[in-house]
Amino acid sequence: MKRNNIRLTLVMLALALVAATLAFAATIPAAGAKAPAFSLPSQEGKQVALKDFAGKWVVLYFYPKDFTAGCTIEAHNFQEDQPKYTALNAAIVGVSADSVDSHKEFCTKENLTFKTLADPTGAMIDQYGSLTKLEGAMKERFKQDHIAARNTFLIDPTGTIRKVYANVQPNPHSKEVLADLALMTK
């Protein structure tokens, strides 16, 4: 069991390195830019748009794949901190290239209550410079040809990107975003 955990960790590290390399090849919107508009289906099958959060802060985080170790850790941390985000007038929104059905299963299994949006075509993920194309063994492993790089955008209540986090580490990330949000809302 321990050997499998080490192997999974090494695979995820390799994926993160590939994602980092490819994600930086795309244009990531910079802090100060207007956040690209989007409308995607959530785990509930309902369309969710950026404009739905007008007047609120949005933590828009991209993650590679439902049910993987790093993505599950990151989601749990955001879920654990959700009351603190709510107190700061912020919504958490996760996005991956997984299907609505996958998100529904993931949210149910992991007790996630924030929105997770499905972008199987990768069009919206690409708008945020976070699309990673997969080839070879990685394409086989994930059973798709693209995933989202682990990037996060902190969007203010007017729809402006205030902070960009590229290539984040899943474990400390929610606390980092929460600390920055607390400073920005003072």
Tell me which residues are annotated as active site: 71
d(CA 5, CA 167): 22
Strand partners, 161: 155
**Helix boundaries (H) for the chain:** 2-23, 69-87, 100-110, 123-127, 136-142, 173-184
Q: CA neighbours within 13 Å on the CB side: how many for 95?
A: 32
Name the residue with tokens 């075509």. Answer: 121
d(CA 134, CA 26): 14
Taking residue 167's Cβ as centre, other Cβ atoms within 10 Å add up to 16
User: Residues 171, 176, 182, CA angle at the centre, nearest 5°?
Assistant: 145
Helix, strand, coil percentages (3-state) for the chain, rounded to 5, are: 45, 20, 35
